[in-house]
Amino acid sequence: MFYKNNLLRKKQNMIILLLILTILFLCGCEGKKSIAPKASQGIIDLSNWNFQKDGLAKLDGQWELYRGELLEPKDFKNNNKKPLDFFKVPNSFVNTVNNNKLPKFGYGTMRLVIKTKGNDDSLYGIKTQSILSASKIWVNGQLVASSGTVGKDANTAIESFEHQIAFFKNDNREIELVIQTSNFNNVTGKIQSVFLGTDTQIKRAYIVNVASDAFIIGCLFIMGIYHFALYYKRRKYKAPLYFGVFCLIVALRNVLVGERIIFDVFPNIPFNLFNKIAYLTVYIGIPFIVMFFKELFTEEFSFKMVRLMKIVSLLISLVTIFTNIEFYETFLIYYEIWTLVLFIYILFITIKAVIKKKQGALMILFGFIVFLITAFHDMILHAGLLHTNSLIPFGFFIFIFSQSYMLAAKFSDAFVKIEKLVEENKAVYIDELTGILNRRGFYEQGGNLFKAALITGGRSTLFFGDLNKLKTINDSFGHKEGDEAIRSTAHLLKNTFGKDDIVARMSGDEFIAISVNKASEEEAKKIIERVNINFHKHNSSSNKPYELSISMGYSICLPTVNTTFEELIHQADTMLYDAKTIIKNNCSTS
C-alpha cells in the first residue's frame, strides 16, 4: 500500500512539473527574438537591423493613415500628400493615434517609409496577416500583392482573409509601403503585423507555419478517427464519440485560422461562408467537450448544466446560420463569457475528481489547464489587447493528447480486466486434475461445433470412453496413483486425437472426444485402434505395477434438424456400455 501511494505521489509530482514547464514555455515563446524598432509618424528605421542575425522584422508602430481616400504611390510624389492622422499597427480598427474614432465600415490608405542600409541587391519579401477585409499593396511604387477587391462601397468591395506574400528588390535607402484597404462586411476589422525579411526568411516562415498547421490538423483528424474506433468497440461509453467529434471540429477550425490554408484548397470560398464556419466551429465544438467531461465525471457533473449548454449553443448557431455578421458577431463576446464560466465549472469538477483520486483525473487536469491558458490568451488576442501569435492550436494539441492518453489508459485497463476474466473463465471450463476440458467445457465447445455442423453440413465422430479398473487401482495402490492414471489417460487421448479435435473428462473415469471431419465406421475403428496402441506403448514404458486400458464407444455425427447433441452422446454411451459388457463377460468366462 505504501509503495502504491508513493508511486501515485511521484506521478502527481511529474505532472505538476510538466505543467510548470509548459506554462513557462508558453510565457517565453514570444520573447526569444530580437525586437525591431517601432514606427513613429509613418517612418521606421531598420538601418541597423541585421536580417540574417535578427530575423524577420515586424513593421509595427504608427503608420500614416488617409481614411476615406484610396491613394496610390504616385499621389505621394514630391511630398504632395501630408498625413492628417496615424494608425497604430497591429490594432483593431477602432481609433487612430490621435483618438479619432474610426467607422466600422469604410476605406482608406496606409503608408509606411522604411529606412534601410541601402546598396543591397538582396531579394526581400513581405508577409501580411489580416488587413481589414481587402487590401492592395505597393512596394516602391510597384503593385506586388492584393487580397480581395478594395472598394468604396459594399457593392464594389470583395472581401478575403487570404494572407499575402510578395518579393521585391531594393536599391535605395528607403522602402515605401502603400496599402489600400477597405472593410464593408466584417464588423471586427483588424490590421495585424506586417513582416519584412529576406526572401528565404519569408518563405521559411510561411512553410514552417503551414507545416505546423498541417501537422496539428493531421493529428487532430487521426485522433478523431481513433476515438470513433474506440466508441465503435464500446458503444455504451460515449466519451470517445464526443471527443472524436470535438477533434474533427477543432481540425476544421485550424484549417480556417493560422495560415488559413483553406484558401490554398478553396481560393474562391465566399467571405460570408468563411466567417460563418469559423464562428460555428466555436459554437458547435464547445457542447461536445462539455458532454465529454460529463461522461468522465457523471456523478459530479450537473445534467442541467449540460442541457443549458446544448440549448444556448443551438440557439446561437441558428442565429449565426440565418443572420449576417453584423448581427451574430455581437453574441460572440457573451458566448465567450458563458464558455469561460463553463470552463471554470469544469475545472472545479476536475479538481474534485483529482481530490477523490479518480483514475486519470490528474492528467485531465493538466491538459485542461494548458488549454485554458491558451484559450484565455487568444480571447485577449481577439479583443485586441495582445498582438502575439495564436496559442490555442498548441493548447488544443496538448489538451487532446492528454485526454487521449487518459482514454487509452482506461481502455487498456478494461482490456487487462477482460483478459483476467477470460483467464478466470477458462478455469470454469478446464478440468483441474488433467488440464483438458471438463463436462461444462465439452458441452460449450461441442455444442457450438454441432450447431455449426447443422448449418455447414460438417461431419464428425463422437467417442465415449471409460478407464478400465480405476477402482482396483485406487484400492490397491491408493488414490494418488489413481489420479496419476487419470492424468496419463487424458494425456494419451489428447496425443491420439488431432489439434482441431475436442477431448474432455466427463467425470471420474469417463472421457469423451469428438474427431472432426471423421465420419465413417472404418475411420472410427482406426481411431480406437490407435488409442489402444498408444495405451500399450505407455504400459511398456511406464514401469507401473498396473496396466491402463480404456473401453470406447462411438456415434457417427451426421447432423440433421431431427438430431440433438445429447442423442449423439447417448448413442456413444450405449455403445460403450455394450463394449464394457463384452469385457465383463470375457473376464467371467476366463
Same domain, 375 and 448: no
CA atoms 385, 388, 389, 394: torsion sign:
negative
Which residue among 198, 226, 255 closes a domain?
198
pLDDT at 17: 46
Q: What value does the mean pLDDT take over residues 272-288?
A: 89
Is beta strand 142-147 parallel, antiparallel or unpaired with respect to 106-115? unpaired
Q: What is the pLDDT of residue 589?
A: 42
Q: Are residues 378 and 453 in the same domain?
A: no
Q: Is the dihedral of CA 408, 411, 416, 422 positive or negative?
A: negative
Say yes or no: 187 and 229 in one domain. no
Provide the percentage of residues in the chain whose pLDDT is more than 90: 24
| Calpha distance 461→517 (Å, rounded) | 8
- Tell whether 189 is covered by a domain: yes
Which one of 165, 198, 231 terminates a domain?
A: 198
Pick from 185-199, 255-269, 477-491 the range whose average pLDDT is largest.
477-491
pLDDT at position 448 is: 84
485-502 average pLDDT score: 91
pLDDT digits (tens, 9 = 90+) for 543-565: 888 999 999 888 888 776 567 78
466 and 575 co-located in one domain: yes
CATH of the domain at 561: 3.30.70.270
242 shares a domain with 133? no
pLDDT for res 210: 85
Q: What is the pLDDT of residues 372-429, one digit of tens each?
A: 777 777 666 655 555 566 676 677 677 777 776 766 666 666 666 766 766 666 667 8
Average pLDDT over the chain, rounded to an integer: 81
Q: What is the mean pLDDT of residues 472-480?
A: 90
Which of 577 and 271 is assigned the larger pLDDT?
Answer: 271
**211 and 346 share a domain?**
yes
Beta strands in 298-387 (DSSP E): none
Residues 248 and 312 occupy one common structural domain? yes
Q: For residues 234-239, give the mean pLDDT.
A: 82
Query: pLDDT at position 86, please?
Result: 93
pLDDT score at 179 = 94
442 pLDDT higher than 60: yes
Predicted confidence (pLDDT) at residue 333 exceeds the cutoff of 90: no
Judge if 563 and 465 occupy the same domain. yes
Identify whether residues 496 and 563 lie together within a single domain: yes
* Same structural domain, 390 and 458: no
Instruction: From residue 91, give the alpha-carbon distance in Å to each of 34, 96, 131, 137, 194.
Output: 21, 10, 10, 18, 12
Tell me, what's the pLDDT at 582? Answer: 53
Name the more confident of 437 and 267. 437
- Residues 85-96, mean pLDDT to the nearest whole number: 88
User: Which range scores top for mean pLDDT: 254-268, 319-333, 469-483?
Assistant: 469-483
pLDDT of residue 123: 85
Domain count, the chain: 3
413 is a domain residue: yes
Residue 399, domain member (yes or no): yes
Give the CATH number, domain containing residue 247: 1.20.1070
Per-residue pLDDT at 233 exceeds 50: yes
Span 512-536, pLDDT tens digits = 998 888 878 889 899 999 999 999 9
pLDDT confidence bin for 505, thresholds 50/70/90: very high
pLDDT tens, residue by residue, 105-127: 889 999 999 998 876 677 889 99
What is the mean pLDDT of the segment spanning 320-336? 85
pLDDT of residue 393: 65
Asked if the peptide bond before residue 73 counts as cis, ω within 30 degrees of 0, the response is no
0.85 exceeded by pTM: no
Which one has a higher pLDDT value, 113 or 187? 113
Quick check: helix, strand or coil at residue 300? coil
Judgement on whether residues 168 and 60 belong to the same structural domain of the protein: yes
Residue 57, domain CATH = 2.60.120.260
Cα separation, 282 vs 329, whole angstroms: 12
The predicted structure's pLDDT at residue 187 = 63
Q: Which range (2-11, 17-26, 211-220, 580-589) has the least confidence?
A: 2-11
* 25 has pLDDT over 60: no
Measured between alpha carbons, how far is 73 from 352 in angstroms, rounded to an integer? 63
More confident residue, 58 or 559: 58
Question: What domain range includes position 267?
Answer: 204-417
Which of 287, 288, 279, 284 lies closest to 227, judged by CA?
288
Domain shared by 180 and 228, yes or no: no
58, 45, 89: which is closest to 195 by C-alpha?
Answer: 58
Is the model's pLDDT at 44 over the cut of 80?
Answer: yes
Task: Read off the pLDDT band of 493 (50, 70, 90).
Answer: very high
Chain centroid offset of residue 479 CA: 60
The predicted structure's pLDDT at residue 387: 54
- CA-based angle 584:585:590, to the nearest 5? 100
The residue from 167, 198, 229 where one domain ends is: 198
**pLDDT of res. 423:** 66
Which region among 223-232, 333-342, 394-403, 497-506 has the lowest average model confidence (pLDDT)? Answer: 394-403
**Could you tell me if residue 498 is inside a domain?**
yes
